Amino acid sequence: MRRLLRSRVLIALVSVTAILLAYTWVINYLTWRKTLRTAGFVDEMRAPARGDRVLIVAPHPDDEILGCGGLIQQAVANGAEVHVVLMTNGDASELSVILEEREASWKPANMIALGRRRQEESLRALEGLGLEPGRIHFLGFPNNGLVALWRPEHWRHSDLYRSPYTEAVFSPYERAYTPHAPYCGQQVLSDLLGIMHQVRPTHIYVTHPRDIHPDHWATSSFVGYALATAAVRGSDWAETAELWGYLIHWPRFPAPRRSRLSMEVLPPPELSGEHAQWHLLPLTPEQAKRKLADIRSYRTQAPSFDRLLLAFARGNEVFERLSPTEVGPRGLAEWHMNNASRRKVAAVQVRELRLELGDDGGARALLVSAPRRMPERSYICLDLRTWDQHYIPTITTLYLRARGEVEAARMDGEPSPVAVAAEARTPGELGITRLPLPEDSLAQGSLYVTCWGSVNDRLIDSAVTSWVKLPAGLFDPVTAD
């Protein structure tokens, strides 16, 4: 009798707790929705229409539907020209192999076969939305390898990256924008620039730079850098193109983790500060149902098993307008980053990044800080990209180690000849008093900044990705002492 009573009490407590949690979630959701709209952080947007040229860039097959499935439907219906770029074929999805093969058979041939199946899934879904095959571009770069291609170590054609999943250094896929594309950053930039010059987009949609999946923020970095490169080289369309970010991976986003066609998806509170530019794209019930059906069609991703996928089928989609950071004389560009890691390695989370411009136009400094002392085997990476007087990309990457040590890497593979002055201020905080930028690197008045952290060589998440525009002539070439 006592056991029965205890069981009933336990069941009652669990039920009451579940009800209270659900009630709390609903109240928080409604409060957050009202706060966003009242503060003006979220506005409604219109889909591209006839005369617009749309370029959607996704890291993996299915991301294009998760983030932009409704937008694609509306843009096509409005008569816009829509192109979709898939950076990878998603050939590193171990779960997909396990579910399909019923065993952990991760042989290179199986991973390549998975990549082909995922490619076909995107083709069918996008063609079903009205896109012609010629407007669907597969680049075929390595899944879970885009950050490696972004780094200077695998930027050149002479330093190719080998995928640990497919063991390939060249794209093994027959359908690729560049046949047998070499796995290096130069090729990624070249392919994106080629497609951009072909499409001359008026609207670009790419995964959000704050997305915590490394492939996703690396995709945003590549697209932003390609757009900035086109602008620096004088392409008029690149100066006027609208750049939008859509979010896929962020803790507790979207909430709840299930399909609710009548409910709005809202940007996370951590990403909705005073300077945020989030917009909602309302979907009709028919468009939301079609998006849900398209998500379910990606069978290799087991949508019935993964609630995250189905949670993107809502009554709207959400995008943030991404704009270059304008910096004036004596100005200060500052990015405050929130701890977004789902892993217990937040010690390398970058909290703040500042770009300071001195009174004389030549002094400059970066400040990077982490919440507390970093583990021994960790670093914070600052990646600075500019263009020389011949419009050639120039890359300088700083690796700030846990003990305050600084390594500098250049695109040419040689250590930077410019001294780096680093000052350890408080535990986990590092200041760089002089940026090791080569002469003439700021001749075009722009630079591209990316920052991230790592523990035990395991990438965490993007800290900042931004195209910074400087006033002409602000900097003269400076060499550190």
pLDDT of residue 8: 66
CATH of segment(s) 43-322 = 3.40.50.10320
CB 396 within 8 A of CB 408: yes
Q: Where are the domains of the chain?
A: 43-322, 325-469
CA separation for the pair 411, 355 (Å, rounded): 22
Asked: is 325-469 a CATH 2.60.40 domain? The reply is yes
CA separation for the pair 3, 7 (Å, rounded): 6
List per-residue pLDDT tens for the chain, 481 residues long: 666 666 666 766 666 665 655 545 554 555 555 556 555 567 889 999 999 999 999 999 999 999 999 999 999 999 999 999 999 999 986 554 444 444 445 789 989 999 999 999 999 999 999 999 999 999 999 999 999 999 888 999 999 999 999 999 999 999 999 999 999 999 999 999 999 999 999 999 999 988 888 899 999 999 999 999 999 899 999 999 999 999 999 888 997 777 778 888 889 887 877 677 899 999 999 999 999 999 999 988 876 666 789 999 999 999 999 988 766 555 556 665 554 444 444 456 666 666 665 544 443 556 566 656 667 777 778 888 888 777 888 888 877 776 667 777 766 555 544 444 455 555 455 555 555 555 555 566 788 888 887 776 666 656 677 887 766 655 544 433 3
**Which residues, in sequence order, are bridge partners of residue 355?**
333, 366
- Domain 43-322 and domain 325-469, same fold? Reply is no
pLDDT of residue 34: 58
pLDDT of residue 313: 94
Beta-carbon count within 10 A of 178 CB = 16
pLDDT of residue 385: 86
pTM for the whole thing? 0.86
